[in-house]
């Protein structure tokens, strides 16, 4: 019966932060992502994200979102599920695919990496 709406501020195990805006009736949302890590020497910039979550049954909903990196020609898709523990603490268990721009079709095979991230809410003190 615990509700998990993704709106709000989250941090993952790498120290990256994301803010998700209001989730509309269809479960769609947008937001901003600030990665704590990158494999480019370019300065890291806040990047837009768009995604959707299931809202029909808010018990442990699944979701997905895409981050279009604003500082490089790469894209990451995250997919996962929200879990709430007995104390009401929410975690987002996710897997991601990072696609970087391959110079040519010959490099296509090595252009996608996969990993996992766990996100927890950032409590804003002055709530
Ligand atoms: O919070 C989280 N942060 C990390 C994980 C999954 S997304 C990831 C951040 C990705 C930033 C872009 C990047 O690193 C990046 C950008 C451009 C690249 C160009 C060429 C590359 C060639 C080889 C390997 C790369 C690895 C990351 C790359 C790029 C390359 N969770």
Give pLDDT tens digits along the chain (127 positions).
Answer: 578 999 999 999 999 999 999 999 999 999 999 999 999 999 999 999 999 999 988 789 999 999 999 999 999 999 999 999 999 999 999 999 999 999 999 999 999 999 999 999 998 765 5
Residue nearest to atom 9 of ligand 1 (CA): 38
CA distance 15 to 29: 22
Which of 37, 49, 65 to mutate to test ligand 1, by most ligand atoms within 8 A of the CB atom?
37
The torsion region of residue 40 among left (phi > 0), alpha (psi -120 to 50) and beta comes to: beta
For residue 122, give the H/E element and its range: none
Q: Do residues 93 and 118 make contact, with C-beta atoms less than 8 angstroms apart?
A: yes
Q: Is the dihedral of CA 121, 36, 32, 103 positive or negative?
A: negative
Which of 19, 35, 41, 102 to mutate to test ligand 1, by most ligand atoms within 8 A of the CB atom?
35
CA 100 to ligand 1 centroid distance, Å: 7
What pTM was estimated for this model as a whole?
0.95
Residue 6: its pLDDT value, please? 97
Residue 124: its pLDDT value, please? 72
End-to-end alpha carbon distance in the chain: 23
């Amino acid at each position: 019966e615990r509700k998990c709406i993704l709106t709000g501020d989250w941090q993952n195990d790498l120290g990256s932060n994301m803010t998700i805006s209001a989730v509309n009736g269809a479960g769609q949302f947008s937001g901003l992502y600030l990665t704590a890590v990158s494999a480019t020497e370019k300065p890291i910039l806040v990047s837009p994200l768009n995604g959707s979550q299931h809202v029909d049954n808010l018990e442990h909903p699944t979701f997905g979102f895409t981050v279009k990196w604003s500082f490089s020609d790469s894209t990451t898709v995250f997919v996962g599920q929200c879990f709430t523990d007995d104390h009401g603490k929410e975690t987002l268990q996710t897997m991601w695919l990072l696609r970087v721009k391959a110079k040519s079709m010959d490099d296509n095979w090595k252009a996608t990496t996969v990993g996992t991230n766990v996100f927890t809410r950032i409590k804003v003190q002055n709530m």
